[in-house]
Amino acid sequence: MRTIAYQDVADAARRLCIDANVHLGEDVLGLLRSAREREPSTLGRRVLEEILENNRIAAAETVPICQDTGTAFVFVELGDEVRINGGGLRDAVDEGVRRGYTEGYLRKSMVSDPLRRRNTGDNSPAVVHVELVPGDRVRMILLPKGGGAENMSRMTMLTPADGEGGVRAFVIETVERAGPNACPPVVVGVGIGGTFDTVGFLAKRALIREAGERHPDPFYARMEEDLLAAINALGVGPMGYGGETTALDVRIEVYPCHIVSLPVAVNLQCHAARVARAEL
């Protein structure tokens, strides 16, 4: 059994909060650059230029890419041969988030209660998902999830008869309805299958996948590419001013489901598709 200190987990979470909010991944930057080359709309190209310039400034001056530094969504893969010494895993992540958001001059956007709405003042708590995996490593993936795109996300329970066509229509309609509100070009996370509660998680997990990486099943890989083309034919364009870059990527995650069910969730992510990773 390998032992990792509570403080090392907290330190990693702290670092990930700051890194993710200041540096956009090379994978997403690559998609933005190639979109700028292809975009036929003058205003659309102007927006993509601004976004790329914004990312350059954010990294150079250590300023958050976007003022909405989000809910800290943390996906943890915990090795079954690891023990955290000195405290609980979730507490360690929350401590790291509190320190990262305070010491990194990030915006505190969490309220302690959804109706009484008092700001917690330190962006805690994080939303933590823990998956037990074989081995003696801990992998942490942090996604600061902004509210604008999150608010435009949707889920539905289709019937099996709705099939692939029903899923396609729901995904495309969700992106179209979101329009400029979700800060396009967006990354579209799609969850299909499982249950009411798990399908939203599938859609969220799609957002932490490396940009440009297709689903391992060729059926879903093709569906991702078809959906991307259909979404980019909508005309919404960068920031909704019109154009051919409405989405940068579409990613599908699936899970087996009940014979009567076809849950679908679409989790939208703005162009500031921030993700940071650490391994302990």
Partner 1 sequence: MDPKSLTTPWSDATVEGLRAGDLVLVSGVIYGARDAAHKRLVEALERGETLPADLRGQLVYYVGPTPARPGQVIGSAGPTTSTRMDTYAPTLLAQGLKGMIGKGYRSQPVLEAMRRHRAVYMAATGGAGALLARCFTRAEVVAYEDLGPEALFRFEVADFPVIVVNDAFGGDLYAEGKKAFSRATPG
Q: Please give the sequence-ordered ranges of beta strands (E in DSSP) within the chain, or none if there are none.
A: 2-5, 71-79, 82-85, 127-133, 138-145, 154-158, 186-194, 247-257, 262-269, 276-279
Q: Give the nearest distance from C-beta 249 to partner 1 in angstroms.
A: 16
Q: Restricting to residues 238-277, name those near partner 1 by CB under 8 A.
A: 239-244, 270-272
Selected range binding partner 1 among 1-9, 88-96, 203-211, 225-233, rule: CB under 8 A: 225-233
Nearer to partner 1, 84 or 175 (CB): 175
* C-alpha to C-alpha distance for 252 and 261, rounded to whole angstroms: 17
The angle formed by the CA atoms of residues 18, 200 and 185, to the nearest 5 degrees, is 60
Answer yes or no whether residue 106 interacts with partner 1 by CB under 8 A.
Answer: yes
Answer yes or no whether residue 144 interacts with partner 1 by CB under 8 A.
Answer: no
User: Residues 104, 144: contact at Cβ < 8 Å?
Assistant: no
User: Residues 72, 123: contact at Cβ < 8 Å?
Assistant: yes
Nearer to partner 1, 26 or 197 (CB): 26
Closest CA to 237 of 272, 276, 192, 185: 185
Nearer to partner 1, 80 or 164 (CB): 164
Among 16, 58, 72, 208, binds partner 1 (CB under 8 A): 58
The DSSP letter of residue 80 is T
Contacting residues toward partner 1, per CB under 8 A:
40-43, 47, 50-51, 53-55, 57-58, 61-69, 105-109, 119, 121, 146-148, 151, 172, 179-181, 183, 226, 229-230, 233-237, 239-244, 270-272
